Structure 1
Amino acid sequence: MVKTKVFLVCMITLLFVISGVGAYHLYAMERAIARSIYADVLDDMQDIGYLNQALADYYTNKMAGLGWDVSTDVFAGSWPRGEGERARKERKESVTLAMKVTPSNVAKWLNAFVEGDTAFSFTGSSPSEYFDPGW
């Protein structure tokens, strides 16, 4: 009888540890995907000098395809957002990208435990690489 109880406790502990490791790997993978999307969008913003709406829609659809909540403006706080406000390298202007996305439930819970917020948030500025052709 004692061997059965010890066996069950060991199996439950093993299951709990393996589930925890799997959940952490899921969290780390989703955070890495969000960080790579942020880096790609910031790189594209640097190249063209602003956040193109088609580019924002493409990445928003990509994040929605991952099952993340993108019902709000994921890129709120990013600047410039229009072609007329384009940042130029010759003026030494910068582009600013702010991205906030809510991941899957497991990643959301672990991010709340690790970071204190349920959403993945990334913010940064970089110098624009766009040269005005008329310059």
Structure 2
Amino acid sequence: MTKLKVFLICLSVMVFVFSAIACVETYSLERSLARGVYTDLMDDMQDIGYLDSSLTAYYRGKMQDWGWTGAGADFFAGSYPMSETTRARKERAENVSLTLSIHPSKLSQWMNLLVEGEATFRFAGTRPSEYFDQGW
């Protein structure tokens, strides 16, 4: 009977450890995917001076395919500029701002709640625009 108890305890510890490792790996994978989306969007936004609607549609579709939802109204709420008419220009020393808020999978929400203190992945930043107006 003692051997059975020891075996069950060892088995449960092993299952717990492997489950914890799988949770951490899933969390870090989703976090790095979200960070990659943010970095790609910020680079593109910096190059063209605004957040293009075709870029947002592409990345919104990609994130929805991964099962993520936007926190609040939209994934990109708080980003500026959002249209070509308000494009940031380098010659005026204007900046582009990108805010990305994502509700990832439930597992990653729990892990992020433990690590960051909130369930949402949030990335925000401002960079100088690299777009030169052609008429300048």
Tell me the TM-score normalised to structure 1 length.
0.98
Q: Which amino acid aligns with 1:130?
A: Y
Q: Which amino acid aligns with 1:25?
A: E
Provide Cα deviations, 1:43-82, integer angstroms capped at 9, x if missing partner. Answer: 0000110001111111010100111113731000000001
- 2:79 match: secondary structure: coil
* CA displacement at 1:42 relative to structure 2: 0.3
- Between the aligned residues of both structures, percent identity stands at 50
Q: For the residues of structure 2 that align with 1:96 and 1:68, how far apart are their CA atoms?
A: 22
In the other structure, the counterpart of 2:48 is 48
- 1:60 match: secondary structure: helix
Q: Which amino acid aligns with 1:90?
A: E
Q: For the residues of structure 1 that align with 2:118 and 2:52, how far apart are their CA atoms?
A: 28
With 49-58 and 64-73 compared, the bigger mean Cα shift is at 64-73
Runs of 4+ in 1 over 3 A off after TM superposition: none
In the other structure, the counterpart of 1:78 is 79
Q: For the residues of structure 2 that align with 1:74 and 1:67, how far apart are their CA atoms?
A: 13
Provide Cα deviations, 1:108-133, integer angstroms capped at 9, x if missing partner. Answer: 00001111111100000011010000
RMSD over equivalenced CA pairs, Å? 0.9
Matched, 1:96 2:97: yes
Q: For the residues of structure 2 that align with 1:81 and 1:69, how far apart are their CA atoms?
A: 20
Kindly indicate whether the alpha-carbon contact (under 8 Å) linking 2:69 and 2:75 is maintained by their aligned counterparts in 1.
no
Q: For the residues of structure 1 that align with 2:123 and 2:57, how far apart are their CA atoms?
A: 18
Tell me the TM-score normalised to structure 2 length.
0.97
In the other structure, the counterpart of 2:27 is 27
Q: For the residues of structure 2 that align with 1:79 and 1:68, how far apart are their CA atoms?
A: 22
